[in-house]
Structure 1
Amino acid sequence: MDFFLEVLTGGLLAGVMYSLVAIGFVLIYKASGVFNFAQGAMVLFAALTFVSLVERGVPFWGAFALTLAAMVALALLIERAVLRPLVNRSPITLFMATLGLSYVIEGAAQALWGAQVHGLDLGIADEPLELGGMLLSQFDLFAAGTAALLVALLSFLFNRTRLGLSLRAVADDALGALAVGIRLPRIWAVVWAVAGFVGLVAGLLWGARLGVQFSLSLVVLKALPVLIIGGFTSMTGAIVGGLIVGAGEKLAEVYLGPLVGGGIENWFPYALALLFLLVRPAGLFGERAIERV
């Protein structure tokens, strides 16, 4: 039982890392209906910009502030120059726009900072720490605490402020929100800026875990099962979906992996997501589409 709890807890902590990326998707999709496939490229851009500034002698917090400013500027530029002109276009058009945008951002990052692999040290050792008889990663504990703080801040922003009320109005009925005087471009700009900040936090944590390299942008693929399971329109769903994926893949690798030859951790989340698509397409917390004919 102790070993089971250790594997389960480790999986839950790892799942928080997936949730961080998924939150960026949820913010944009909930406010504008756009599935931003470029979120992974934004994570890469943030991590690469930060580590490149640090390697050039910029202090940690100075590099963080400059990277945050760059991410907000990038997010606002994307919203203004690319997505706003495509409002009311078909979902596939918007998806293809963000897919192409992801390659543009990756190319810009490579042209600006180079293509070499970087190590990113946040000062948190990835070493085991014994808690309650379990060995847990110090880095995973730090990442979980960071994610919890971020979620608390976002929850306060979107549930306790006028901006949050406006965002929920836009998410419920964009045309109705526009009719009562809510400025949609302003809401979209704020949401994209917040998504840029979330991309920075996720980029630092994932870059410290995997190294800052161009495969870092593929982290979006691991966020897809999280979104399918939790729902594309729920921040709570992104958290719960990440926990389910993290715990599920670790437990499957330990207990089912020996039966099938190992490697189950890489594809088990997608099998789980496929099951959810068959049984509950909207996810655990997603909004079911109701069509009247």
Structure 2
Amino acid sequence: MDFLYNILVAPFAMIGAAPSFFVEVLIGGLLSGVMYSLVALGFVLIFKASGVFNFAQGAMVLFAALFFAGFMDKGIPWYGALPLTVLVMLVLAMGIERVVLRPLVNQPHIILFMATIGVSYFLDGLGQTIWGSEMRVLNIGIPQNPINMGPIQVNAFDIVAAVVAGSLVAALALFFQYTRIGRALRAVADDHQAALSVGIPLKTIWAIVWTVAGVVGLVAGVMWGAKLGVQFSLAMVALKALPVLILGGFTSIPGAIVGGLIIGAGEKVAEVFWADAIGGGIEDWFAYMLALAFLLFRPQGLFGDKIIERV
């Protein structure tokens, strides 16, 4: 009975006793959720264009952070390291598309998925070979001090990172919704063969999408690297986007945004208000348990298309 009380009643009693603290935790979670949405967007773009879950997206986030931090360690200021890292990620993304994926066009999706797993391990090894495996502190000039907003405090870095990530997510959502390339992307996502038959160059679309995913990986790597330090666990942080995708839907850009906000807010609130009842480490597994519940009751996600097979 004590366990049920701690799970079902105690958290609400804590919220009622300190509503401003609950709002503070909730805002912190939502700000982290925006960064999760940014990482998830890279997965969504590639999945929409090819129907393949890009397992290497987390490694691309780490790879970008390693190069950015490495350039800064060489004495290059951040405003010089950023365009150099953008160039590296553009070359990397286009190289992956041309060398690895282009020869596998029209192959079963499981083959493409296995190819991205290989790319992920290759990037991990290449990053360690070039820059080493020690953790790096990434300072890009964003303050880490808390800001007083009435009765609550919010970390200044979280606000800046959320604004940057949210701006990029919004810009890409508008780009793919209202531009010619965006319409071509949606056509490719619906049917590869039909898109080819009306003159949409599939290989060009793939190259554009992988390039955009590389840029998204760069921004996510810099933001997460500045927050947590540049270390190889960043690749696992990026895979937190998987439950985000399950919640929002693998083909939905709005779903990536909403899913990220739900995961970010949910795990922070659960970590703070359920830790006494369940124990520590909730933040590590909460997102995956929530995703499992969605798979049982709504496997297509909040914004995904319901799959109907006629026999």
Q: Does 1:270 align with 2:288?
A: yes
Give me the whole-angstrom Cα distance separating, in 2, the residues matched to 1:141 and 1:195: 23
Indicate the percent of aligned positions where both proteins have the same amino acid.
62
**TM-score with structure 2 length normalisation?**
0.91
Give me the whole-angstrom Cα distance separating, in 2, the residues matched to 1:280 and 1:200: 32
Counterpart of 2:233 in 1: which secondary structure? helix
Q: What's 2:259 paired with?
A: 241
Give me the whole-angstrom Cα distance separating, in 1, the residues matched to 2:282 and 2:37: 20
Given candidates 40, 43, 46, the residue that maps to 2:64 is 46
Q: Which amino acid aligns with 1:44?
A: L
Given candidates 24, 28, 31, the residue that maps to 1:10 is 28
Q: What's 1:85 paired with?
A: 103
Q: What's 2:306 paired with?
A: 288
Question: Cα distance, 1:91 vs. partner?
Answer: 2.4
Q: What's 1:182 paired with?
A: 200
Q: What's 2:14 paired with?
A: none
Give me the whole-angstrom Cα distance separating, in 1, the residues matched to 2:138 and 2:101: 32
Q: Does 1:123 align with 2:145?
A: no
Is residue 37–residue 220 contact of structure 1 (8 Å, CA) maintained in 2? Answer: no
Q: Does 1:27 align with 2:61?
A: no
Counterpart of 2:251 in 1: which secondary structure? coil
Given candidates 126, 130, 133, the residue that maps to 1:108 is 126
Given candidates 141, 154, 164, the residue that maps to 2:159 is 141
Counterpart of 1:130 in 2: which secondary structure? strand
Q: Which amino acid aligns with 1:87?
A: V
Q: Give the greater-gyration-radius structure (CA).
A: 2
Q: Which amino acid aligns with 1:252?
A: A
Q: What's 1:209 paired with?
A: 227
Question: Cα distance, 1:281 vs. partner?
Answer: 0.1
Q: What's 2:178 paired with?
A: 160
Question: Cα distance, 1:204 vs. partner?
Answer: 0.1
Give me the whole-angstrom Cα distance separating, in 2, the residues matched to 1:10 and 1:180: 47
Q: What's 1:98 paired with?
A: 116
After superposing on structure 2, the runs of 4+ consecutive aligned residues of structure 1 that deviate more than 4 Å are none
Give me the whole-angstrom Cα distance separating, in 2, the residues matched to 1:118 and 1:176: 47
Is residue 230–residue 237 contact of structure 1 (8 Å, CA) maintained in 2? Answer: yes
Question: Cα distance, 1:253 vs. partner?
Answer: 1.4
Question: Cα distance, 1:267 vs. partner?
Answer: 1.1
Q: Does 1:57 align with 2:79?
A: no
Give me the whole-angstrom Cα distance separating, in 2, the residues matched to 1:151 and 1:23: 7
Question: Cα distance, 1:101 vs. partner?
Answer: 1.0
Give me the whole-angstrom Cα distance separating, in 2, the residues matched to 1:19 and 1:156: 15
The worse-fitting range, judged by mean Cα deviation, of 225-234 and 168-177 is 168-177
Give me the whole-angstrom Cα distance separating, in 1, the residues matched to 2:110 and 2:193: 21
Q: Which amino acid aligns with 1:8?
A: L
The worse-fitting range, judged by mean Cα deviation, of 76-85 and 216-225 is 216-225
Q: Which amino acid aligns with 1:291?
A: E
**TM-score with structure 1 length normalisation?**
0.97
Question: Cα distance, 1:241 vs. partner?
Answer: 0.6
Q: What's 1:261 paired with?
A: 279
The worse-fitting range, judged by mean Cα deviation, of 160-169 and 31-40 is 160-169
Given candidates 226, 232, 256, the residue that maps to 2:244 is 226
Give me the whole-angstrom Cα distance separating, in 2, the residues matched to 1:269 and 1:185: 35
Counterpart of 2:240 in 1: which secondary structure? helix
Give me the whole-angstrom Cα distance separating, in 1, the residues matched to 2:190 and 2:180: 15
Gaps of 5+ in 2: 1-18
